[in-house]
Structure 1
Amino acid sequence: MAARTKPLSGLQVLDFTRVLAGPYASALMADLGAEVIKVEGPGGDEYRHVGPFREGESALFQAANRGKRSILLDLKDPADRKVAIALASRADVVIENFRPGVMARLGLGPDELRRRNPRLVYASISGFGQTGPNHARPAYDIVLQAMSGMMALTGDADGPPMMVGEAIADVAGGLFAAWGIMAALFERERTGEGRVIDLALFDALASMMPTAAARVLVCGQDPSRVGSRHALSAPFGVYPAGKGHFAVAVLNDRLFIRFAQAIGRPELAADPRFATDAERRLHEPVLAEAITSWASDRDAAEVVAALTEAGIPAAPLSTAREAWSSGQVVSRGLASPVDHPILGQVALPEQPVHFSDVPRGNRRPAPALDEHGAQIRAELEK
């Protein structure tokens, strides 16, 4: 069967965002064929100046802005603002992540742009949303992790709270922004009308913690840190081997019986302390001692092989470098090559969803500042 066009081919996205959450959302859409015009002010997106660098090019900027075109517009300049309005009048989607109220003061708010283009989907991304007591506060990922409860839940039980090892609030915000935009575009197909979307990174991160939310909202609990162990199930966590560490996930009674046999302790399955998942979690330290004792004279790879053979979900701990070079990542096409004018051929991450009959790859690199400015301005004259 012949390859089909990408799902968002023909979609016009005008992207006023910078740093990570907004650019991540529009990069996901660019991966799927959307034509994304990145509007940058003098000096460009801050991520152009954040390392790590290769040949003077920011790796972070390359990853977050793949597949886009760039135009430099000073939105305080009336002539450039006129160009921005003209571009928005032709766009299907506008995304912005300025402080609440900034775009309206520039004459680029949703009311003004949707008056000119009623089909426009206008997405505003901010730290705390367009309303609420914190709406005017600045927010970075570390602030959002701290305020959302994410940081309080991360780390060892007897240690300090810790950040998650990725800018998880920005990524969550980008995902939910793209999801909201897709929902609004689907609605537009039925109504012919666009919609305004208000996405707060704080809200997105809170929504990414359903286990904690259920315990707080339904059960009235106040969850605390449990380290690299599951808060509700056991054995479900990371344990040391004689060399290295391994992760194991036992979530039901049937698996626990097999697990007890695999570690040479079949009697554990008949112990009333481990009769249910809740009881096993309550007595997890006893299980941890049995697991550590069994694994102490094996390296992590041996442990994982034995558990896998027994049908127990288990894995060694990989570094990020090992994961991105693994056969699984390669076979699934989670990164694909692009040709960059300075860096040559470089691999960049790609959105993870596979669509039937749509090949992966075939993308542009991130643009140089104003690389397409003259071209985009010329297109407005047509």
Structure 2
Amino acid sequence: MTQLPLDRFKVLDLTRIRSGPTCVKQFADWGADVIKIEPPEDAAGYGNRDSSDFQNLHRNKRSLTLDLKTPEGQEVLGRLIDTADVLVENFRPGVKERLGLDWDTLHARNPRLVLGSISGFGQTGPYAHRPGFDQVAQGMGGLMSITGMPGQGPVRVGIPVADLSAGLFVAMGILMALLDRERTGEGRWIHSSLLQAQIAMLDFQAVRWLIDGVVPPQAGNDHPTAVPMGVYPTSDGMMNIAVNGARMWKDFCDVIDRPDLVDHPDYCGPRERQANRAQLNAILYEITKQWTAHDLTEALLATGIPCGPINAMDQVFADPQVNHLPIVAEVDHPSRGRQRLLGQAFQVEGLSPVMRSATPDCGQHTDEVLSELGYSADDIATLKSRGIA
């Protein structure tokens, strides 16, 4: 099998729900030995194993069942920590202290260990002990106030963007810490929160407030600052058109046969177009409705103007460019057969993440992992009989 960039690292996965598994998935896909540690009875809160979501999140891992509330379970985990490179958790702050998984304790036991932590609101501060959830972070982090049609009221985004971005940010931080360890010989504690990650994802909308003092409103399908850029009707459906800059504006007006709009005092520059967005869009809607989506797309692309269809999910994965990209990965599941999963979002020339294994059954690798730690068959049987493993 081809060697993968992260195959020299052992990662202990104590995460659940989405933000933590999103983080760990990056390491599992690129070759790390990821050991997913779960309660012996697959306790509630760890997800429905049969769901497509769970199957996608937890591929390429081994599953070890362990009762971390028992001294014996903690001893097994301690042995794993001694040889691990990374431990990732998304407990509420305070829980890991009770389990002996706080940074000071872990760093004293294995100074080379990198700890990745994800919480709802941060490891310290007035909200540190609050339970966190993606939609709550979307609201508190400002995203719901800028999403939706003007005057509609707050609208959540259709994906768990706070969970996903927190997981990706912590994965990036862990990789940075592993690089730093090559220089210092010591691990570091990397932590983020749903709230912090969500605010970071606001990007230019956040700095409109921080620098310009502007509270961004809801803009619906229109771009907040560029005009015309948004959703436009055609004779057979809706499409996105993105016109940005003087050259594109002129070419767009030529394509729709309205050269008079180019230098019109209400639309001649970006500020004028933004100030008069509603009346300009009213004109453009009547024009674009006379085109088919295909014909308008071809005409705009011929002049280098970004545009495209608004696809439902089945249309996304039927698109020829999507099929060209390696975004869909396949894995053989022992009972489900061949499964299509969501692959990685970037490519490394000469390497590909390998779907080595489907999501494991709960505890599928318990015997294997415990044997690697030096436990005998009798030891393993005793731990299982007592509900510890």
TM-score (ref. length: structure 2): 0.93
Counterpart position of 1:184: 177
Query: Which range is displaced more, 350-359 or 150-159?
Result: 350-359
Distance 1:330 1:290 in 2: 37
Query: Which range is displaced more, 41-50 or 369-378?
Result: 41-50
Query: Which range is displaced more, 72-81 or 360-369?
Result: 360-369
Distance 2:43 2:334 in 1: 19
Distance 2:322 2:7 in 1: 25
Q: How far apart are residue 143 of structure 1 and its match?
A: 0.6
Task: Select 1:28's aligned residue among 6, 9, 26.
Answer: 26
Distance 2:263 2:172 in 1: 47
Unaligned ranges ≥5, structure 1: 51-55
Matched, 1:142 2:140: no
SS at match of 1:36: strand
Determine if contact 1:235/1:248 at 8 Å carries over to the other structure: yes
Distance 1:63 1:47 in 2: 17
Q: How far apart are residue 246 of structure 1 and its match?
A: 0.6
Counterpart position of 1:78: 71
Distance 2:353 2:84 in 1: 25
SS at match of 1:139: coil
Task: Select 2:7's aligned residue among 6, 9, 17.
Answer: 9
Give the paired residue count: 375
Counterpart position of 1:64: 57
Counterpart position of 1:19: 17
Q: How far apart are residue 360 of structure 1 and its match?
A: 4.1
Counterpart position of 2:380: none
Distance 1:327 1:47 in 2: 38
Matched, 1:98 2:91: yes
Task: Select 1:212's aligned residue among 201, 205, 210.
Answer: 205
Determine if contact 1:48/1:61 at 8 Å carries over to the other structure: no
What are the within-5 Å matches in structure 2 for residues 181-330 of structure 1?
181-330=174-323
Distance 2:280 2:69 in 1: 63
Query: Which range is displaced more, 77-86 or 360-369?
Result: 360-369
CA gap of 1:331–1:46, structure 2 versus 1, over 3 A, is farther
Query: Which range is displaced more, 315-324 or 141-150?
Result: 315-324
Determine if contact 1:173/1:204 at 8 Å carries over to the other structure: yes
CA gap of 1:216–1:286, structure 2 versus 1, over 3 A, is same
**For 1:125-173, what per-residue CA distance to the aligned partner results, in whole angstroms no more than 9, with x for missing partners?**
1000101111111111111111111001100002122110111111011
Determine if contact 1:238/1:245 at 8 Å carries over to the other structure: yes
Counterpart position of 2:123: 130
Determine if contact 1:19/1:46 at 8 Å carries over to the other structure: no
Matched, 1:173 2:166: yes
Q: How far apart are residue 272 of structure 1 and its match?
A: 2.3
Percent identity over the alignment is 39
Distance 2:329 2:172 in 1: 23
Q: How far apart are residue 195 of structure 1 and its match?
A: 0.3
Q: How far apart are residue 327 of structure 1 and its match?
A: 2.2
Distance 2:43 2:274 in 1: 47
Determine if contact 2:114/2:187 at 8 Å carries over to the other structure: yes
Distance 1:6 1:13 in 2: 15
Q: How far apart are residue 289 of structure 1 and its match?
A: 1.6
Counterpart position of 1:153: 146
Q: How far apart are residue 274 of structure 1 and its match?
A: 2.0
CA gap of 1:45–1:211, structure 2 versus 1, over 3 A, is farther
Q: How far apart are residue 4 of structure 1 and its match?
A: 5.5
CA gap of 1:46–1:351, structure 2 versus 1, over 3 A, is farther
Q: How far apart are residue 29 of structure 1 and its match?
A: 1.2
Distance 2:341 2:22 in 1: 13
Query: Which range is displaced more, 154-163 or 285-294?
Result: 285-294
CA gap of 1:60–1:210, structure 2 versus 1, over 3 A, is same
Query: Which range is displaced more, 204-213 or 301-310?
Result: 301-310
SS at match of 1:272: coil
Distance 2:88 2:69 in 1: 18
Letter in 1 for 2:180: E
State the superposition RMSD in angstroms: 1.6
Letter in 1 for 2:14: F
Distance 1:40 1:288 in 2: 54
Counterpart position of 1:44: 42
Q: How far apart are residue 45 of structure 1 and its match?
A: 6.6
Letter in 2 for 1:293: E
Q: How far apart are residue 359 of structure 1 and its match?
A: 3.0
Distance 1:346 1:260 in 2: 47
Distance 2:336 2:209 in 1: 49
